[in-house]
Amino acid sequence: MRTSVFCVDATQLLKGVLDLAVLAVLKDEDGYGYDILRRLREAGLTEVGDASVYGTLRRLFAAGLLTTYVVPSESGPHRKYYSLNASGRDQLTRSGKTWRSFATTMDALLDDRGMAA
Amino acid sequence: MTVTGQEITDYVDRVRAALADLPPTVRDELTEDLPEHLAEVAAEADGALVDRLGTPEAYAAELRAAAGAEPGRRPTRFHRLAEARQETATQLRLLDRQLGPVFGHETVSDFLRPLRPAWWLVRGWLAALLVAAMTDGRSGLVPRMDGNTSGGLLLLIGAIVVSLWWGRRSAGITGWPRRLHHLGTAALLLFSVAVLADVDRNASSDFYGGYEQVSVDHRYDRIEDVFVYDQQGRLIRDARLFDQNGVPIQLGWPSCTDGSGAVPEMRNTYPYCPELAPFAPTASAPVAPTTTP
C-alpha cells in the first residue's frame, strides 16, 4: 500500500499554499514576475518553480484577486507588475487565518507527542 | 557559457508549441512574460536555460497546471461552433423526450425508429426521381428515362432496392462516409421540396383542374374538322358532339376562311368549314338538327 502513503515534502506542501504565499509577498509591495519569484525564494521557499509562480499569478489575476499594470523601463524589457486589489486582500486575510489555524493544530499535535520542532 | 537571444527565442517557441492546444488568447497570456523572465534568469548566472528551468515541455506543463488551464480545448473559432452544436443537441434531446408522450412513446425517436424502412422506400423513390430529372429534365411523380416509363420503373425498383440495402447497412458507419451520407440525405430532402412544389403547382393549375369542362383527347390531334352525315347522306351543319358525361367534345380547329375572309371562330359545333366536306353536300337546304347525348 505504498501508493496511498504520502511522504511529506516541501514541493507537495507548496502546491497547496503557493496562492497564499504569492498573495502574501504582494501585500506590501507590487511586483513583476521575476521579482515575486525572488521574494519567495528569499523568504525560504527555495523549491518553488518559475513556471508555477507565473501560472499562479495568471490564475489569481483571472480570479480577480490581482490587478496588473505595465511599467516601461529604459534598461530592459517592459515589466508587468502585479498588485493586490480589495478581493485579493480579503482572500489573503481569510487564507492566512485558515493556514495559521491549520499550522497551530499541526504544531500542537506534534508537540503533544514530544516531537521537536 | 552565456545564454544567447536565440536560445531564449527557441525556449519560448517550444513552450508555446507545447501549449498549442489552448485557445490562442490564453496561451498568449500565459507566455507573455516568458521572454523577459528568461532574460532575467539568463542575466542571473551562467548555464543553459534547460539546466536551470528544465525542458520547455516540462516548463509548459508546470505553467499549465499552476494556471489551471485545462488541455485539449479547440481554437476559439471552432470551439464556439462546437459549443453551439452541443447546445442544439441538448435542446433536441430535451424536445425528443418532452414530445414523446404526444406520440404515445417515451421519446419521439422511439416512435420514429420503426418508421425507418418507410423512409428508405421514400428515399429510393426520391433518388430515382432525381436521377430521372438529371438525365431527362421532365419528371412527374414516376421517374421516366427519355420519356420511357418502363425504363423509369426499372430505375425506381433499382433505386428502392439500393436504398433498402443501404438503410440496413448505414447504421454503423462513421467518419467521412457518415458525413457523405448526411450530405446526400440533405440533398434528397431539398430535392423533395422542389418535387412537392412542382406537383403542387401542377395540381393547382387549370390544366389538371379536376372536372374537365371540355372533353379533349390527344389521340385525335390529327383531326382538323368533323363532318356528320345523316342517313340520307346529307351533311349536318352545326352538329354538337357530347361524351357520355354530357361534356362537349372538342376536336380540330377552323382551317378555312368564311366569305368575309375571316377565320370562323372556335365553337363546339361541326363542321367548322362545311365547304371542305369530303363528300359533296347533296342537300341544298341547311338542316339544323342537333345531336343529343
Q: Kindly determine whether residue A33 and residue B37, on different chains, have CB atoms separated by under 8 Å.
A: yes
| Closest-CA residue of chain A to B66 | A55
**pTM for the whole thing?**
0.45
Number of domains in chain A: 1
Q: Is residue A37 part of a domain?
A: yes
**Which three three-digit cell numbers place residue B236?**
349536318
Confidence at residue A24, expressed as pLDDT on a 0 to 100 scale? 95
**pLDDT < 70 regions, chain B:** 1-3, 70-79, 136-140, 147, 205-217, 258-259, 264, 281-293
How far is CA A50 from each of CA A41, B34, B177, rounded to the nearest angstrom?
A: 10, 10, 48
* A78 interaction partners in chain B (CB closer than 8 Å): 36
Domain residues for the domain of A57 are: 2-112
Distance in angstroms (rounded) separating the CA atoms of residues B64 and A54: 10
At A2, the pLDDT band (50, 70, 90 cuts) reads: very low
Q: Kindly determine whether residue B66 and residue A53, on different chains, have CB atoms separated by under 8 Å.
A: yes
How many Å is the Cα radius of gyration of chain A?
17
| Closest-CA residue of chain B to A54 | B63
Buried (b) or exposed (e) across B33-42, using 16+ Cβ within 10 A? bbebbbbbbb
Confidence at residue B77, expressed as pLDDT on a 0 to 100 scale? 61
* B12 interaction partners in chain A (CB closer than 8 Å): none
* A34 interaction partners in chain B (CB closer than 8 Å): 36-37, 40-41
Minimum distance, in Å, between the CA of residue B33 and any CA atom of chain A: 7
* B34 interaction partners in chain A (CB closer than 8 Å): 54
Tell me the CATH number at A30.
1.10.10.10
Q: Is the peptide bond before B143 cis (omega within 30 degrees of 0)?
A: no
Confidence at residue A89, expressed as pLDDT on a 0 to 100 scale? 94
Minimum distance, in Å, between the CA of residue B9 and any CA atom of chain A: 15
User: Which pairs with CB-CB distance under 8 Å and at least 24 residues apart come from A23-31?
Assistant: A23/A60, A23/A65, A23/A84, A23/A88, A23/A91, A23/A92, A23/A95, A24/A92, A24/A96, A26/A66, A26/A82, A26/A83, A26/A84, A26/A88, A27/A84, A27/A89, A27/A92, A30/A81, A30/A82, A30/A83, A31/A81, A31/A82
CA proximity to B35, closest of B13, B17, B19, B54: B13
Q: Is residue A58 part of a domain?
A: yes
Percent helix, strand, coil in chain A (nearest 5)? Answer: 60, 10, 30
- Burial class of residue B114, CB neighbours in 10 A (0-12, 13-18, 19+): exposed
Q: Is residue A117 part of a domain?
A: no
Give per-residue pLDDT as tens, B30-81: 888 898 888 888 888 777 888 888 899 999 999 988 888 765 545 556 667 7
CA proximity to B122, closest of B78, B77, B160: B160
* B30 interaction partners in chain A (CB closer than 8 Å): 54-55, 58
Of residues B33, B65, B66, nearest to A80 (C-beta): B33
Q: Is residue A44 part of a domain?
A: yes
| Closest-CA residue of chain B to A17 | B66
Confidence at residue A1, expressed as pLDDT on a 0 to 100 scale? 44
Confidence at residue B96, expressed as pLDDT on a 0 to 100 scale? 84
Q: Is residue A62 part of a domain?
A: yes
| Closest-CA residue of chain B to A78 | B36
Confidence at residue B70, expressed as pLDDT on a 0 to 100 scale? 64
Q: Kindly determine whether residue A55 and residue B62, on different chains, have CB atoms separated by under 8 Å.
A: yes
